[in-house]
Structure 1
Amino acid sequence: MSGGTNNFGVAGSSKQSGSAGTGSAGTGDALSWTDKFMGMNEYTETKVLAATLGGDVRGKSNAWCARFVNKALESAGGKGTGSAVANSFQRWGLSVDPSKVSRNDVLLQTKGLGYNQPGGHVGLATGETRMNNGKLQLKMRAGNDNDSVREHWIDADKNLMVRRGNPAVPAGITSQVPPSSMIQNVPQPSAIRGDASMGLMRGGGGPVAIHINGSSHDPEALATLVQRRVDESMNWRTHDTASEYT
């Protein structure tokens, strides 16, 4: 829990935000990472929790619910907010309707407080839902929940935000784009005219002009001829040869 309080139910008027923020859930299962910590208490398992979360977890001054979620997301290959404040997740990922909650979504109880304000509580959705007295409830697993890692049902009320991490970019999508330094001597559109003439740079010096009279040849023959002349130029020919088509 962020902000030094373990009490729920503070009135407020937080609303689901439709805007997308930064952060991703990764491709792993963040909730599975938390299994080994279930039931651990900040006073009886202090060393384990502190070593995992990078700092003391005891007392109201050491809120760790957001730290727990950030670490779980990191374990799944995702990226959290990097903040120990639960309400930092108000701008994380995408907003999701509570009725469409999925496993590993982030559940944020804002307590009616604004972005990055201490005092909220955050955990992960198990994906389970139920109706209780006509109200939708979601099951949340969280750290610093009554000083422990545990699960409990929470109301999908006006103070609850359900946030889903942005989709992860598949590996290799951007890594296969060559750097601009490797893309050189590409003819500009203005260099290719209707008579199939173009200018290419020869390795030994100035431009090599390729002139082809296309008025008497079909498109396939012209394409073959252009490719031939481009190949000749790239093979560093030092003079032009007369074409059989001119």
Structure 2
Amino acid sequence: MLCHNGLLGQTTSQTGVETAGVKHSMNPFDELSVEESVRIREKNKAPGGVEDICVISAGPAKAVDILRTAMAMGADRAIHVETADGDEGALEPLTVAKMLRAVVDKEKSNLVILGKQSIDDDAAQTGQMLAGLLGWPQATQASRVEFSGDSVEVTKEVDGGVETVRAKLPMVITTDLRLNEPRYASLPNIMKAKKKPLVKMSLSDLGVTNERKLKIIKVTEPPARQGGGKVEDVDGMISKLKELGAL
């Protein structure tokens, strides 16, 4: 998925975020996914090794820059599913999941790693929907991924500590922030990435239509925070807390 860096204001129609003039960058959760894929290959974690790392992004022409960055990090090739710019080309999580399923079927992949959520809509649905469409096991919000024989153990942080699940390939994993520290895409690797294969497709090539099932009613900025207050002593603090209903 393609996301945006910087501060985004709402559009004048209040139906989305304003992206005009904003630099596109890789979703940080997806950046973790690329890094983890490369580490699995470098450290020979997967039984039989990693044959190929293919990255995919659906978005306007600018998405190519993101894919080149992913290849500079170590991916072997890329697929760009080109969509229109702006609201017209925006994809809902289910559409993205259907698109990824089509690519997985075409590529005969057995492991899909993707960010737990995008940072524009924060939907956190695509990975789960993809696993459901494929009929594969899923492990979400991974903070650690380890291979044990023909199984994959994935640990995630929960309220009471950590939770570890185990499943066999094929499977879908979504990544969380403490999984790894993504590497910097160096200039030499960026130059090499320009020679790596990048295939352009459309949703129709994959048999998918951008069918809208959700309607955005309104997008607004959060209300401005009110300033804090000072109290002279403990008694004043207790009185203030009682006034606010906290005691």
Please, what TM-score do these two structures have when normalized by structure 1? 0.22
The structure with the largest helix share of the pair is: 2
